[in-house]
Chain A
Amino acid sequence: MPNRRILGLFKEDEAAANAADALRTAGYTDENMEFLTGSPYPEGAFGEHVPAHKLYVFPLIGAVCGFGTALLITIGTQLGFPLVTGGKPILGIPPMMIIMYEGTMLAAIIFTVIGIIFESRLPRFGVGLYDPRIMEGYVGVLVNCAEERLSWVDTLMRQSGAEDVKVEEPLRR
């Protein structure tokens, strides 16, 4: 039986946490549960565990790329048009450092932004099973479960205090 997704909408965050507890007791883990909120909650507020991210790799790679590119540009332009200005040496390190610093930071920032989008698992084409009320303050508990368990999960969520439960439409073949 294929897996289906079901979304419970809770007005009170305590109710959502209760539903999460009940689901965990039934054997569902972080892998098949997701929480959707309209604003940040303290980490672990619903008992979830967000795995460590590797965001710090991105600015490092960016910095190395930017440093290398800027080094090439500064050396290249100075050798390409060697003009002694004010008695300063052709390949003088201090002025090179300014352009290299800017290049390093630019690339680091760009790669960081790419990393943030990537680590957030974005861009995502379409929001999937979702409800606009989430951004109005509701908490959404999204469960990935087997098709035959849908009604059981539905009942559990409503018992925990869900105001509304939506089920994802099955994929048409």
Chain B
Amino acid sequence: MQRPHLRRTSREHELSFAFPDTPAEAGKDILSRHLRLTSRFWKAFWVLLLLFGVGLLGLALRILGGFDDRAAWGYEAALFAYLLTTAQSAPLVSIAMRIVRNHWRRPLARLSEVFAVVGILNLLLFFPLLMTLPPQEGRKSMWFGWPGSPHIYDSLAIIFLVLCGLAILLFTSMPDMAVLREQASGRLKGIARRLSLGWVGSGREWKKLNLGLGYLGALYFILLIGVHALVSMDFAMSLVPGWIDSIFPAFHALSGLQSAVATIIFSMFLMRAIGGYREYFGLDQFWALSKLLLAFSLLWFYFWWSTFWVYWYGRAPSEVSVLKLIMFGPYAVPFFLSFGLNFVVPFGLMLWNVARRSIKWPTIAAASILVGTFFDRIRLYVSAFSVEDVTGHALESIPATHFPDLIDVLIYVGFFSGSILMYMVASKVVPIISMWEVKEWLRLRVVRTFLRTEVAVVAKPE
């Protein structure tokens, strides 16, 4: 059907999928791609493993250096916050879209949920960081000196977050593991049998699955926002005397949402380019997520502005010192980079519908956000960790810029490699495209002629 008046930058659109459009064939296609292991995969695996080892070595060296010099741990805190903001927030895209019940999320659901495995890696960073926190006497703390705080409660929160994410991944992949249990061979067959938890696909099981995913999703959402609030307050705000910023936990969480969408867009692009799943991540997915990216970039600015504006306008001395520390003083360069990359670039790009409705431009905006968040976490956490005297009413003096050393670089390289490695391995155990959700989609969707044009009819069983 000729529809010349609709400008397309890519051939894929909702009325015709690029992948097989019957449930059985789509399932076969996804399975065959999943079982394919190229030599490129193995090369990447060994390189990443080696780099991860180097990163672990760096972490060990840092731990051997002791926990007294908090400033030395600043970059590790920033890295931990960065992985929390990007990888651990990524499952939220799938969860939120499942709550809203739209259909375009289906190909990217599993892609988003697999990011939960990176949480395990983040725990390795988290526990040493806890050791660097100063005692609560003389300074503000959200725990008000409760026994065991913040170590016990923060640990519980983040462990529960990781477990919840893994549980979501486990349950959502049960039906696909059942397929692998039957169709795969070798070690994968054994793993699939265990991970499928005896799934047979009865009506009752499906119902329980949907209900369970709903509850777990809501729990993950609450836990994630909570962990963002805890981390931002315990590891940044309460380490800087005079920093009283009620919106900061919300800013941190929102930055997580923005980075989550950016992570997914970028991962979709990589899956298309080098992952071998080009047909499954089409224009509709990029278009829909780019609209979210526009909204979140605006919100990033809005939440940042709330802090800046109230401090700038009131000019209370303690607040002006905080502005100098985290925005316009020793960390002005990462701040302006972050402002430009988290707001100016994505907003400027995603404002235009032509850009939103493409593959290339949302990917560029997403990459910009991922780099911007990197600098944003540095300016927030390295600055907070570099404050010497955490007691007192206000910042007496602004500490100088703390630059990374070799160990920091090793840890960064190692942990980024480790995150990618864990994701890659997980994506070869659990299919990265959710077979059962895509099959459900194909069943609920019909293309019909309407008078002289074609439309898609999308069923809404709820």
Taking Cβ atoms with an 8 Å cutoff, the residues of A that contact B are 13-14, 17, 20-21, 41-47, 49-52, 56, 86-88, 94-95
Contact = CB atoms under 8 A, between A and B. Distances in A.
Contact of B313 (A43, A50, A94): A94
- Which residue of B3, B308, B313, B353 has the most chain A CB atoms within 10 A of its CB atom? B313
A11 B455 CA distance: 22
A122 B38 CA distance: 61
A42 B455 CA distance: 8
Contact of A43 (B308, B314, B453): B453
A46 B315 contact: no
10 contacts: A20-B452, A21-B452, A42-B453, A42-B455, A44-B3, A44-B5, A46-B451, A47-B452, A52-B7, A87-B315
Contacts of A56: 353
B453 A94 contact: no
Contacts of A49: 4-5
Nearest to B315: A87
B374 to A, nearest CB: 26
Nearest to A20: B452
Interface string B1-13: 0011111000000
B146 interface: no
Contact of B315 (A45, A51, A88): A88
B26 to A, nearest CB: 26
Contacts of B308: 94
Nearest to B455: A42
B42 interface: no
Contacts of B453: 42-45, 47
Nearest to A50: B5
Nearest to B352: A56
Interface residues of B, number: 17
B312 interface: yes
> Which residue among A44, A45, A49, A87 has the maximum number of chain B CB atoms within 10 Å of its CB?
A44
Given A43-B5, A94-B313, 18 more contacts: A14-B451, A17-B452, A20-B452, A21-B452, A43-B6, A44-B5, A44-B453, A45-B450, A45-B453, A47-B453, A49-B4, A52-B7, A86-B313, A86-B314, A86-B315, A88-B313, A94-B312, A95-B313
B309 interface: yes
A49 B453 CA distance: 11
A131 to B, nearest CB: 20
Interface in B415-462: 450-453, 455
A74 to B, nearest CB: 16
A20 B451 CA distance: 11
A44 B452 contact: yes
B309 to A, nearest CB: 6
A42 B313 contact: no
B362 to A, nearest CB: 19
A89 B22 CA distance: 66
Contacts of B451: 13-14, 17, 41-42, 45-47
A1 B315 CA distance: 79
Contacts of B455: 42
A56 B7 CA distance: 15
Interface in B208-247: none
A151 B453 CA distance: 29
Nearest to A45: B451
Contacts of B6: 43
A49 B1 CA distance: 13
Contacts of B4: 49
A45 B309 CA distance: 51
Most buried by A among B7, B315, B450: B450
Contacts of A94: 308-309, 312-313
B350 to A, nearest CB: 14
Nearest to A85: B313
Given A51-B5, A52-B5, A46 B313 contact: no
Nearest to B312: A94
A110 to B, nearest CB: 19
A46 B313 CA distance: 59
Contacts of A21: 452
Contacts of B450: 42, 45
B108 to A, nearest CB: 27
Contacts of A46: 451-452
Contacts of B312: 88, 94
Which 3 pairs from chain A and chain B are nearest by CB? A44-B453, A47-B452, A45-B451
